[in-house]
Structure 1
Amino acid sequence: MANVCGRTLLVLTLVLTLVVTAAAACSAPVSAPVIGSAPISTTEKGAPRPCALKPGPSNTGATGTLEPAGSNIVLSDGQHLENAMVSGGLTVEGDDVVVDNVSIAGNVLVLGRRATLTHVSARGIAISGASKVSVSYAQIRDSAEDGIHVTSDRGPVSDVVLAYNYVHAPDVPYDAHYDGTQVRGAERLVISCSTYDLGVWKPQYNAAIYLENANGGVRDVRIADNWINGGGYALMLDGDRVLLDGNTFGDDAHWGLCEAKASFTRGQAPRMRANVDARGRALTPCGA
């Protein structure tokens, strides 16, 4: 009888412990989203959070031994593709897809929800009608079109994090319109700790980052702690509740650092703080 009572007491103790633990977890504050080892804050409060590293050729993109995976790969729900080399393009059609350490000769198209792309090498990445997408430590180069293109053409795009990416060296035709990242409709977007280096201006270069008021508009965007260089303008912005926080701007923008479009006339000018030039001098990229 003593053994039974002992087991009963143990079970009750375990149940109570689980209840207390669950209650504590439910009441705990939700932390900021994490990419790699560096947190990305999506709030305007507090000091800017430093990046773990500056993205460049040695710490982004696919590395090591990669196994051939074929050409024009389509990934369905829950599929993972890792340590692979794709000779054509890659389409993320399903939800909950993971792409890790993959080199793609062509472009990537993300259509599914909750896709995670890490250490990808590609000519371009498009996110179309998708939500909860994370792209980190990607190296985007030799792009014939936009480096990263985010669009709500197939449906609303929301909750996208672009972090620790290296977007550089576009290779566009003479009649192209190139942006390092162009956003045509999105809500809750973070572009953080990334390097955009378009280099010396060419007439085809529009902007390093372009937020366009299309496909439902652009809202709640944080562009933070990036290294941004080049373009006709470094930034072309239109949207509601846009924050420019802790970015470093190079000298290669042709016409200026920023063209803020209808945002100003609607009273929704970007909020700015702690932005500097390449020599560390404080500046206000989008006007006074």
Structure 2
Amino acid sequence: MKFIVLTSLALGLSSADVVTVVPGGSLIPHECILEVSNKDVVSNDKMLAMLPEHCTDSAKDLQFGTQQIYAQDAHLQNTAGLWTNFTGDWIVPPLPSSHDGQVDYHWTGFKSSQPEMGYPVLQPVLQYGQTMQAKWQLQSWYVWGNGGKAVTGPAVDINEGDKLTTYMSFDDDSQTWTVYGKNEASGEESILTITKDALGCDCDFEWAMIVHETIGKKTGYCDDYPADSSGITYTNTRLDGEAVDWTTRVQKTECGEAVNVEDDKVEFTWKN
């Protein structure tokens, strides 16, 4: 298993409360994160066998001026039914110029219930700082923050300028979700395949999201962003094969954060 370990001092927790930061889910105990290989199919039996019973506890919140938030996002609800396929490609930006313990996530995802923290989400994630190292990784996740559990595919190291291709899809015959991410430069993949009953939440994923999620300081954080004000442009952003009219949202504004949409392109920008 690979994960970020934040010190109990930084989070205001006792030494017994060692926890892990996950995308969209705040803090989850180490033993409640299951990492599988690209070839595994995560079934309900496997989840029950490998995750402790206490993993149904809610995730903890961060403390001492640290904030986990969807700094920028685009989202859309399928009011007529459920999304079953979502594609998205993007180029890996430069590393942040500052490395002070922040975590920086960029992802496409299917979210259950609401486009907010804590609800179940399937997501291929470009992540910085997830292993307390100043590098990019690609990793496919299923996270249920309020349910206190997460399942991942393998973490793949990524370099600036690499192209990522991703998708999430549901196979109705097998009742199985696939979360897929590939580094086109190296050919390495992070694949998570999980049956619907293994989600543990009777989830319907009616929300699609594209997100820049940050964990770090509430103010004075601009140098913690990728050191490129051109930001990230997601291309081939198609839901069930179609370009859509996204609703955009910006929740942090100190660095000139903005989201722009044009056809199947979604652009996230900021100023360092």
TM, length-normalised to structure 1? 0.25
| Max Rg structure | 1
TM, length-normalised to structure 2? 0.26
